[in-house]
């Protein structure tokens, strides 16, 4: 594997901070990331941010059908020169049309992305289990901890619950700053995600579920009653906790996934009941 510093020199360019470019220097890390996706020649793979192409080269060796999305025009040009047959979309992965880019189900995603893009992209892609089945993504270590944190873990937050409701998550690899060029200031972790084909949100929509979870975690050190009470009427918040069979004096971080499902369903049931009690709008009478 050519060292990224050497390759950048060849291309007469340098790592761009605005695109969060920290290139992998370790062959072992590249192998472990790609093998975590379990690619076969029958698979469709999407790589986001191929950069200088170290993961790309390894993915190509698996024989999987590969598409790549790269935002940096110069690196995209260099990749095209290296592999004229590579299907490469020059775009921002946060804005590409996912249906057009990845037609059909079962796509496997591999990405070492800038830390500020990794989390929004994770949430965007987790919303599409009809397209994606597996993802192997790099995060800043602390974000990785938050994503994996179970009930009562100090890092447990709304991101933990939102992700765990949609996918099985497993750690793949931890990497020190020296595994990249240039070295970032933080440690990194690679996580694997198996998307649930039909996530269980307790019978409510994903939007309602996420809203209740975010409301619950709004004030971390407060009780559920106080956190939910700032988004709902206090009486409604207490009634929702009662209906869900959850002590309203508990804190959001102590709830497990089944409890979040019950709470989301209870909040929604309360909202539906109070809308019915108000009667239909006058125009419908």
In the block, which residue shows the tokens 């990845």? 102
Q: Does residue 191 touch ligand SAM according to CB under 6 A?
A: no
Q: Mask: binding to ligand SAM, 11-50, rule CB under 6 A, as x and -?
A: --------xxxxxx-----------------------xxx
* Interaction residues for ligand SAM, span 89-108 (CB under 6 A): 92-94
The distance of closest approach from Cβ of residue 91 to ligand SAM in the complex, given in angstroms and rounded to an integer, is 7
The pair of three-digit structure tokens given for residue 156, joined into one six-digit string: 């447990």
Site string for ligand SAM, 70-89 (x = CB under 6 A): xxx--x--------------
Nearer to ligand SAM, 182 or 231 (CB): 182
Residue window 53-72: x/- pattern of binding to ligand SAM, with contact defined by CB under 6 A: -xx-------------xxxx
* CB-nearer residue toward ligand SAM: 7 or 262: 7
Burial letters for 34-57: b for 16+ Cβ neighbours within 10 Å, e otherwise? bebbebeeebbbbbbbbbbbbbbe
Nearest distance from C-beta of residue 283 to ligand SAM, angstroms: 45
**Site for ligand SAM contains 144 (CB under 6 A):** no
């Amino acid at each position: 594997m050519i060292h990224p510093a050497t390759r950048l020199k060849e291309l007469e360019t340098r790592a761009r901070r605005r695109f969060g470019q920290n290139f992998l220097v370790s062959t072992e890390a590249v192998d472990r990331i790609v093998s975590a996706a379990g690619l076969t020649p029958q698979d469709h793979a999407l790589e986001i941010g191929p950069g200088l192409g170290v993961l790309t080269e390894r993915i190509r060796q698996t024989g999987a059908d590969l598409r790549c999305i790269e935002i940096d025009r110069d690196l995209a040009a260099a990749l095209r020169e290296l592999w004229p047959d590579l299907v490469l979309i020059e775009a921002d992965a946060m804005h590409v049309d996912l249906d057009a880019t990845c037609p059909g189900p079962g796509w496997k995603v591999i990405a070492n992305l800038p830390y500020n893009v990794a989390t929004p992209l994770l949430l965007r892609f987790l919303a599409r289990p009809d397209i994606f089945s597996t993802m192997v993504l790099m995060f800043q270590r602390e974000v990785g901890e938050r994503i994996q944190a179970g009930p009562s873990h100090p890092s447990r937050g709304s991101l933990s619950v939102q992700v765990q409701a949609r996918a099985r998550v497993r750690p793949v690899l931890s990497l020190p700053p020296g595994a990249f060029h240039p070295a970032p200031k933080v440690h990194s972790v690679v996580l694997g995600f198996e998307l649930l084909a039909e996530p269980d949100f307790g019978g409510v929509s994903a939007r309602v579920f996420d809203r209740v979870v975010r409301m619950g975690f709004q004030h971390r050190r407060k009780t559920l009653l106080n956190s939910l009470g700032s988004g709902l009427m206090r009486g409604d918040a207490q009634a929702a906790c009662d209906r869900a069979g959850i002590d309203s004096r508990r804190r959001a971080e102590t709830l497990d996934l089944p409890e979040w499902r019950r709470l989301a369903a209870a909040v929604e049931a309360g909202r539906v009941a109070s809308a019915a009690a108000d009667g239909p709008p006058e125009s419908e009478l």
